[in-house]
Amino acid sequence: MSAHLPPLVPIVFGSTVFAILGYFFSLVLGSRKNWIGSSLILLALAAWLVLQGILSGTGFYLVTDSFPPRFLCMVAPPILFLILLFIFPSSRAWIDQIPGENLTYLHLARIPVELVLYWLAMYGWVPISMTFVGWNFDILIGLTAPIAAYFILNKPISSKNWILFWNIVGLLFLLNIVILGILSAPGPFQKLSFERPNIAVFQFPYVWLPSFIVPSVLFAHLVSIRKRFIAS
C-alpha cells in the first residue's frame, strides 16, 4: 500500500512543471519573427496540461486493462507534436532561433524531478529502480547542464563535439528511464517491479511527467542536436 505523500512533494513537482512552462513562455516573448505561431504553441501547451490534469483527476488512467492502453493518450500526442515541429519549415525556423545555452539550462529541471522520484519511491509510489539510487542516471545530466552551457557560451575548441556527445548521452539516459517507467507501470507491458509498481504517473500531478516534462526534455535534446548539424 502506498503511503500518503507530504505536501512538499507535489509542490516541488508542480513548481518544476510551471518553471518549464515559463521557460517556453520566455521563448515566445523572445520570438519576434513568428510571435503569433509561438503564442499558439504556448496556449496548446497550457491546454494540454489542463487536459491531462482533468483526465488523471477523474481516474481515467487508473484503468490499466483496456486496449489500446490508455496511457497512450498521455504520450502519443506529444510525440506527434514534436514530429510536426520538425516537419514544418516555419516551426523549424522558430526552433532554430532558440539559443543553445537556453536549451541546455532547461535540463536543470531534471534535478528536482529526480528528487521527486526519490521521494515517491520512499512512499511506495514508484519502484526504487526508477530513482538515482537505482537504475536512473538522469540526474547526472541535470547536474552537468551548467558545464554544458559554459561550453556553448565560451565555444572552446571541439566544444561542438562535446555538446553533441552530452546530448546523446542525455537522450540515452532519458530513454532508459522511460523504458523503466513503462515496464514498471501496471498494464499490458509491465515486466518489472510487480511488488511496487509505478503508479504515480497515472495520477495528478505526476501525470505531467510523461505527458509534459519528458517531451520537453526530449525537445531540448533534439533541437540541440539539430543545431549542431545545421551549423556544420
Q: Is 7 helix (H, G, I), strand (E, B) or coil?
A: coil
Range of the domain at 201: 7-231
Rounded (10°) CA dihedral 131, 132, 137, 142: 100
Q: What's the mean pLDDT in 211-224? A: 95
Looking at per-residue pLDDT, the higher value among 101 and 119 belongs to: 119
Question: Is residue 29 very low, low, confident or very high in pLDDT (cuts 50, 70, 90)?
Answer: low
Q: What is the pLDDT of residues 69-85, one digit of tens each?
A: 899 999 999 999 999 98
Residues in the chain: 232
pLDDT at site 37: 60
Lowest mean pLDDT among 149-158, 168-177, 206-215: 149-158
The yes-or-no verdict on residue 169 having pLDDT over 90 is yes
pLDDT at site 1: 43
215 belongs to a structural domain: yes
191 belongs to a structural domain: yes
Residues 30/38, Cβ–Cβ less than 8 Å:
no
The cell numbers describing 180, all together, are: 523503466
Global pTM reads 0.92
Single-letter code of the amino acid located at 85: L
Question: Is residue 35 very low, low, confident or very high in pLDDT (cuts 50, 70, 90)?
Answer: low
**Domain total of the chain:** 1
Q: Is 138 helix (H, G, I), strand (E, B) or coil?
A: coil
Q: What's the mean pLDDT in 152-177? A: 84
Q: From the CB of residue 136, how many other CB atoms can be counted at a distance below 10 Å?
A: 22
Phi, psi of 183 (to 5 degrees): -70, -15
The cell numbers describing 106, all together, are: 532547461
Please, is 42 exposed, middle or buried when counting C-beta atoms within 10 Å of its C-beta (0-12, 13-18, 19+)? middle
2 belongs to a structural domain: no
1 belongs to a structural domain: no
Asked, as a colleague might, if the bond just before 210 is cis with ω within 30 of 0, I would say no
Q: Provide the percentage of residues in the chain whose pLDDT is more than 90.
A: 61
The cell numbers describing 178, all together, are: 522511460
203 belongs to a structural domain: yes
pLDDT at site 161: 81
Give me the chain's average pLDDT, please. Answer: 88
The cell numbers describing 191, all together, are: 515486466
Single-letter code of the amino acid located at 116: V
